[in-house]
Amino acid sequence: MTQKTQAKLFLKRFSNLRYRLLALVLVPLLLLTGTVVLLASRWSTDYTYEQLFTKVNTDLRVAGESFQRIQKDGQQILSALATSSQMSELLTTQNAKALSQLLDSYRSAYNFDFVKLLSANGGQILEADGWASHSIRQSPLTDQLMASEQTISPSGMTGIEIYVAIDWQREPHIVASKVILPLVATARAAPSSRVAEDRAMIIRTLQPVFNNLNERIAILEGGLLLNRNFEFVDEIRDLVYGPGSLAPGSRGTVTVFLEDVRITTNVPKRDESRALGTRVSVEVRDAVLARGESWIDRAFVVNDWYISAYEPILDVAGQRVGMLYAGYLEAPFRAELIKAIAVLSALVLGGSLLAVGAAIMGARSIFTPIETMTSVVRATAAGQHERIGPISSPNEIGELALQFDAMLDTLESHRERIEHDAAVLEDKVQHRTAELETQNQRLHDSIDLLHQTRQQLANAEKLAALGELTAGVAHEINNPTAVILGNMDVLVADLGDSRENVQTEIDLIIEQVYRIRSITDRLLQYSRSEVQGGDAKLSSGGIRSDISPMQMDYEQSPIAPVDLDSVVDDTLRMLLHEFEGQSIDVSQSYSASRLALIDRQELQQVLVNLITNATDAIRQKNNDLGNAGVSLEEVQHIDISTYDMDERHVVVSVRDSGCGIEREHLPRVFDPFFTHGKVQGTGLGLSVSYGIVRRSGGDIRVHSEAMQGSHFEVQLPAVKKG
């Protein structure tokens, strides 16, 4: 059996109602079981470690109080010595030898590393053979003692001080083997180039001695070396971690650090020797020494994980010079925690499995009759005649099976009747459907014909109206142009030789009259009317009489290469009157290197339309701004430029800063007779211009925004000059 077939069988079985309902029951149960185990494990872990951290925090407080108590005990011992009658008597008699013996006895009895007697100002020290010159070690502790009034009886002062080698070497009872600690490479410690720790951490106590007049006559100085002081840390450990305070297999430890180096500890190495010279992990060092925080968390200690608590040790100047540590081995507690979680998980999973078994047994007794009914339904759907028959279940399922068999018999009878009626109905529906399809096709044909006829009528009406309007306009314009030409002949004849002064203006008038006649001829062509022209005679002014104006236009107006720059200049000279009295700046930029292929007069007509529209748009914008109360000081502009579009096309660009065209009107600006609300006109200028350019093989494009101006680009076919 292939893997694909096995997958299909699995999906088919899983789609069975029994398995789906079992999944609805078992999946939430399994999810709940997993969630309970996960939450219980998480809660047990969090709670256990919370208790462990609380305990180690308490242990650190006890260790810290013990550390302070040891300092106070030393202070009290020296205070008792300073106020003893024996000390007072020996000082009175100045018995140096007896005083030295007394100090040495106190040093030995109370585990001091040195006990010294100095003069009231700290300048002399008592030796066995008398007082000798001496300079007391300066520190904030001595500064505070010396600054106090001698007539006042302050209590002794004690604190932690760090002695460098030159300081502790002056003390005869402190030996180098007890102070100097070789540094041991330690996992997770910060990198260091040092190889040994040669400084000493000392609990230093200063106690003033007073006479009967309450005057300070001497100073007692005592010191307790903490380096390798195992009695000190073991005493604190025994106090904090007494019998029964930890889980079996765990181990309580106490350590004093000089900076990050263990100088006295009962933390063992792998060979069970004390881990002297090892260093604290970099995380703990940064938190406690660098930031001055207490550390209550798991920490890697030498070679194993401990539930640890650290706090900084401050010297007499308030500087962080070391750390006090208390902690115990984590592994036994973690093992107990894992064991408890395993037992809890086993209990929960066992209960879940029992629930799963019960659910499967119950599902089997319920779904076996239902699956029998399902097989009958499938057989019935396949056209087979099967029945469920009697079922041993004396409950709702058995009654359902009985009623289901009765329903199948009823359905069989109804099915036969429906099949007969359906056959009759199908014949009627087919006959009616054929009739409806025939009528529907006829209706569609009639609607299509109606639409075509309506469109043809609308187009015919538009063309007829446009032709009639165009013919009338052309006729009415031709009459005054004929009068103008006739009068120009008379004017030229009357002027005689004097006409040379105004010959340019005369030629311009005659040229524009012929241009008007050319436009009217094209309007007549547009309306498909025949154009008739009258004859005119050539006068002494140079007007030909053998060719009509329109015939002259046709002969002189073929598509030919045209210099765009000269056409723009001529058009601007002709439209100078349009700019009079207007604050319009007209700029020209010519960079076209090719000639445009278009009739010169038609191109001039296009430019006249575009420039006139630009002028009207600026005038309309000025009116709108003036009505709105906006200052009109800004000069509006029209920019005309020519340039090469590519090797086969040139462009004439007309850009203005006028009122612009609304976005919704842009698609219709070239439609005949279309005008918009800003600038009123006949609506033929742009339409005629568009037709001229398109007939010449070019195109016009427009870009515009309301109150931002318009930009028309006339693209024309081109040829090289020369």
Residues near 248 by beta carbon (within 8 Å), at least 6 away in sequence:
332
Cβ 237 vs Cβ 250: under 8 Å: no
pLDDT of residue 465: 67
Lowest average pLDDT, out of 231-240, 349-358, 377-386, goes to: 377-386
Q: 3-class secondary structure for 599-635? A: CHHHHHHHHHHHHHHHHHHHHHHHHHHHHCCCCCCCC
Q: How far apart are CA 138 and CA 656, in angstroms?
A: 92
pLDDT average, residue stretch 151-162: 76
Cβ 693 vs Cβ 609: under 8 Å: no
Long-range contacts of 292-296 (CB under 8 A, 24+ apart): 292/320, 294/60, 296/53, 296/56, 296/57, 296/60
Tokens representing residue 349 in the block: 């999973």
Q: How far apart are CA 458 and CA 465, in angstroms?
A: 11
Query: What sign results for the dihedral spanned by CA atoms 614, 615, 616, 622?
Result: positive
**Chain centre to alpha carbon of residue 179:** 58
pLDDT of residue 13: 53
Q: What share of the chain is helix, strand, coil (3-state, %, to 5)?
A: 55, 20, 25
How does strand 594-598 pair with strand 584-590?
unpaired
Cβ 299 vs Cβ 187: under 8 Å: no
List C-alpha distances in Å: 612 to 59, 192, 304, 618: 100, 90, 96, 10
Tokens representing residue 217 in the block: 């006559």
pLDDT of residue 532: 30
Strand partners, 218: 119, 209
pLDDT of residue 702: 94
Domain ranges of the chain: 49-333, 422-541, 558-720
Per cent of the chain over pLDDT 70 is 83
Q: How far apart are CA 326 and CA 57, in angstroms?
A: 8
**Protein fold of 558-720:** Heat Shock Protein 90 (3.30.565)
Cβ 405 vs Cβ 388: under 8 Å: yes
Closest residue by Cα to residue 321 from 394, 226, 238: 226
Exposure letters 368-388 (e unless 16+ CB within 10 A, then b): ebeeebeebeeeeeeeeeeeb
Position with higher pLDDT, 72 vs 342:
72
Cβ 134 vs Cβ 124: under 8 Å: yes
Q: How far apart are CA 478 and CA 468, in angstroms?
A: 16
Closest residue by Cα to residue 565 from 515, 600, 612, 538: 600
Q: Residue 383: left (phi > 0), alpha (psi -120 to 50), or beta? A: left
Q: How far apart are CA 514 and CA 536, in angstroms?
A: 12
Q: Is 389 exposed, middle or buried (0-12, 13-18, 19+ CB in 10 A)?
A: exposed
Radius of gyration for the alpha carbons in the chain, expressed in angstroms and rounded: 59
First-to-last C-alpha distance (Å) of the chain:
87
Q: How far apart are CA 180 and CA 71, in angstroms?
A: 23
pTM over 0.75: no
Q: How confident is the model at residue 350 (pLDDT cuts 50, 70, 90)?
A: confident
List C-alpha distances in Å: 351 to 323, 471, 628, 707: 51, 105, 87, 82
Task: Express each pLDDT in 587-601 by its tens digit.
Answer: 999 999 999 999 998
Task: Express each pLDDT in 94-130 by its tens digit.
Answer: 888 999 999 999 999 998 999 999 988 888 898 888 8
pLDDT of residue 58: 92
